[in-house]
């Protein structure tokens, strides 16, 4: 598996718990995906952030950029991913996610189901009515879906996720025009991107409960005390 991790000191203003920060999230990810091959895209990072990154990955894994926006750095990540072998799994990670132990193996299990895309984040908006901020396709506080089981977890088909997701290189090549279309501005339009992919029968699945969470306070993946997830650091 390949990890392409995007980190920046220039980001969106979001309300996050105090344990969601650049170092905790990177330390957690490098521990949980320690058998994967890593690349880091470091965009507009300070000297302190750069020194922190090099506590967890070696200098030759890091690409330094000054793009200043998430769409541009995702396209750099996609450029890199498309150079890998077709059967390779690539997991694109943004710098405000935490992962449970076992996440690496769970992603591999997911592709046994034949899904095109995998997210480990179980979005709370999929359990809310649209009038209260829920996903617009979740009528009555739930989305129409199908549920599957692998050795470790249940999975459901879902309509969208963030720009933190996994796919095989062969799939990325097949749908590259759609990925480029919705990441051509300053901010990726992940919601429309995954709806577009779904219209082409490129299905996205997520585990229930989630194996990761996005770091926004209002949108933490349910049924896990994320503060208690072990944050690892390398000596």
- Give the model confidence (pLDDT) of 173-227 as tens digits: 999 999 999 999 999 999 999 999 999 999 999 999 999 999 999 999 999 999 9
Q: What mean pLDDT value characterizes the chain?
A: 94
What does the pLDDT read at residue 231?
Answer: 56
Residue 41 is inside which H or E element, if any? strand 37-43
Contact 171, 116 (CB under 8 A): yes
pTM of the model: 0.95
Distance, in Å, from the CA atom of 145 to the CA atom of 55, rounded to the nearest integer, reads 42
Q: Residue 11: pLDDT above 80?
A: no
Tokens of 72: 């541009």
SS3 call for 31 = helix
pLDDT on residue 235? 38
Alpha helices in the chain (DSSP H): 22-32, 47-53, 70-81, 103-110, 169-174, 176-181, 190-199
**Confidence class for position 234, pLDDT limits 50, 70, 90:** very low
pLDDT digits (tens, 9 = 90+) for 30-49: 999 999 999 999 999 999 99
> Strands of 165-168's sheet, edge to edge?
62-65, 37-43, 2-8, 89-94, 165-168, 117-118, 204-208, 154-158, 147-149
122 closest CA partner among 55, 43, 22, 214:
214
Average pLDDT score over residue span 94-120: 96
CATH topology of domain 2-222: Spore Coat Polysaccharide Biosynthesis Protein SpsA; Chain A (3.90.550)
């Amino acid at each position: 598996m390949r990890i392409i991790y995007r980190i920046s000191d220039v980001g969106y203003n979001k309300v996050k718990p105090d344990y969601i920060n650049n170092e905790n999230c990177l330390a957690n990810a490098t521990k949980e995906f320690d058998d994967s091959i890593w690349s880091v895209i470091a965009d507009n990072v300070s000297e302190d952030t750069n020194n922190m990154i090099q506590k967890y990955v070696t200098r030759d894994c890091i690409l330094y950029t000054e793009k200043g926006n998430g769409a541009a750095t995702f396209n750099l990540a996609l450029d890199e991913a498309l150079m890998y072998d077709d059967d390779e799994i690539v997991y694109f990670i943004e710098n405000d996610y935490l992962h449970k132990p076992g996440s690496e193996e769970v992603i591999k299990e997911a592709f046994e189901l034949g899904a095109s895309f995998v997210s480990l984040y179980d979005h709370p908006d999929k359990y809310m009515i649209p009038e209260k901020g829920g996903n617009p396709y979740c009528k009555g506080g739930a989305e129409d879906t199908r549920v599957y089981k692998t050795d470790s977890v249940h999975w459901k088909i879902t309509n969208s996720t963030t720009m933190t997701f996994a796919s095989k290189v062969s799939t990325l090549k097949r749908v590259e025009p759609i990925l480029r279309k919705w990441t051509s501005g300053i901010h990726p339009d992940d919601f429309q991107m995954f709806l577009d992919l779904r219209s082409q029968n490129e299905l996205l699945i997520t585990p229930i409960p989630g194996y990761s969470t996005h770091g926004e306070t209002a949108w933490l993946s349910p049924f896990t005390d994320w503060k208690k997830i072990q944050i690892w650091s390398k000596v």
